Structure 1
């Protein structure tokens, strides 16, 4: 026979079993949501520093000064003592290489970053600068630049520039390269073209007096960088194309054949005729930017820039950096190279860090939302169960 008391309470038992199964499922989903939130929070914590750096870098990618600040901070070690050791080593290397101007640039950078430098190191740098800038040393380098047409510092460049301002230096270069060309030897056509452009620019009436100095100095520096092998491959290729566009090659060839140091006036006139001013705009801008750099950081610093530049855009950025950072520029370029001028890491790679951090943040917020919803649902369900339990208990009491 059936036990009618058990049958009476069978619906309640079924409800209890279903309720427990639903409760276990809700607890499982809530635990999964909490675990996902914790995982996303950990991922965001790991990605956030890189994403912040990437976002900051992307925002200042068109400002060489701010970009270089970020690069320097990431390049130098974190602790001040380690930074001091790094800069002291760079200063010592510059002094050993006979480049006190670079050593002084590192001193300026150290002061700007509040990095301590030993007093005896500062004294050694100052002593080296005094010797480098002595009257005898400057005069010797000036004469060397005037005679050879090659300069790697301010004094020798002044000598080279003095010769170019009187077009004798450019005529000398044209005669030398033209002679090699006539004899079937390897002539440097880029130096030949730059010298021809220099002759025309020096005497051109469209160049104002205010703008002539950086333009003329810039052309001389680009030409000197080519002579001493300090013109980067990319910039060499671009300058070669610009010179070919600005110079009438057949006319130049004829002028070179007749050029002579004994007839400078006739030589200059013939070489000027080969210059096409209307097509020299890009080359003139490059020369002006180079001259602006030289005014701020000197000849050696400018040669450093021309060595790492891939094109005129890099030189223009370097001019903005030099105008903003002054003497620090050489040290900055020495430490981070072309990364001081533009993004060394692709914009896509930087954007990926930002995107990954945003995905982690979105996952965390979604998990928090899901957890909140499930906890709220569990609380409401618990209240319903309590009400149901009270109702069943009341019904049982009434039937009893």
Structure 2
């Protein structure tokens, strides 16, 4: 085999090295990117894929210690649930500390309930129960309407979110008494109002909530509610709330409240506040509900480890798509390589006749005719 005959093989060897070198790094990334893209609309599957590099024993142990220091027993328990589900070892000392924290949590019950009922602020299920009890009677909503409605009547800056949610809450209270139909709406409004008051909403979600609150209540009716609340006339305020609610516009607001209420039943008060601080839109709150349905008690730990990456693919979407396209280009290059390799192997097995031999073979019939 001459030097010229070796040139195609040398080029093929260079291409093979290039394909092997790039494929070793590109193909695993492309496989993960493809799985992430397929899981884009499945929050539990997306979270499981993204947990692998971050849910290490060291990280889990550190997060449990941080939750214990913050006296967040539900978050600490959530990390224990995640560790057990993924086979991550947790030493007995930490498990004992989590159990001890859960034992002392009820001692703060009375104070938290009273604070929730009087101020509407809550950081626990008990505190939220106090806020809910006040709102269920209408007194909590009346308090908020009197406070912010006074600013509205005097044409001063006011909190449209609190006014809107208090209005929806008053309208839902009657339905709750009538037969429990408004319990979810009532509870959702209280959750959103408490989260807003304590600064637990992300800025984009707070902006969306403000828009929904303004669109849900007629401005004239809101002024009537504010005047009635200033007189502490609960009946008049509730009547104005029922008459002032815009049925079509309030649907999206009550849907958001319903999702928040569903999260509270699964994750507790701190869990739903954790979600509301991460989600940037009502749709992302809905994705958090699906995450909680799939991950169960480990949901809070997943959110702590992954942040918004547990809910959405985020800014890396274009990078994932680019990686998949690069992998497709690599496969095309591999196909061309295989085609060229097959061609060269065929040449080895069935070598191409030399031009001199072809000319000699063509001249044989002519010579035979001439001799005849």
TM-score, normalised relative to structure 2: 0.90
Q: Which has the higher contact order (CA 8 A, sep 6+)?
A: 1
Q: Provide the residue aligned with 1:160 in structure 2.
A: 131
Q: Alpha-carbon deviations, 1:238-284, whole Å to 9, x = none?
A: 11111121110122123212324642112211232221122211111
Unaligned runs of at least 5 residues, structure 2: 362-372
Alpha-carbon offset, residue 25 of structure 1: 3.1
Q: Is the 8 A contact 2:142 2:232 kept in 1?
A: no
Aligned ranges for residues 250-329 of structure 1 at < 5 Å?
A: 250-260=220-230, 262-329=232-299
Given the alignment, which residue of 97, 104, 115 partners 2:70?
A: 97
Does 1:237 find its partner at 2:216? Answer: no
1:129 and 2:99 equivalent?
no
Give yes or no for the alignment of 1:148 onto 2:119. yes
Give 1:49's aligned residue: 28
1:140 is displaced (CA, Å) by 2.0
Question: Shift in Å at residue 214 of structure 1?
Answer: 3.0
TM-superposed CA distance for 1:193, in Å, is: 1.1
Partner residue in 2 for 1:85: 58
Number of the residue aligned with 1:74: 53
Unmatched runs of 5 consecutive residues or more in structure 1: 1-19, 77-82, 393-400
- Deviation track 1:188-243 (CA, whole Å, cap 9, x = no partner) reads 121111111111122248x973x533332211111111100111111111111111
**How many residues matched?**
360
Identify which of 25, 35, 44 aligns with 1:65.
44
Contact persistence 1:36–1:364 (CA under 8 A): no
Match of 1:364 among 316, 325, 334: 334
1:139 CA displacement: 2.2
The within-5 A match list for 1:389-400 is none
1:341-356 equivalent positions in 2, closer than 5 A: 341-356=311-326
TM-score between the two structures when normalised by the length of structure 1? 0.84
Please give the alpha-carbon distance, in whole angstroms, between the structure 1 residues aligned to 2:186 and 2:48: 31
1:293/1:261 CA distance change after superposition, 3 Å:
farther
2:351 aligned counterpart, secondary structure: helix
> 2 CA distance for matches of 1:251 and 1:213?
23
In terms of Rg, which structure is larger? 1
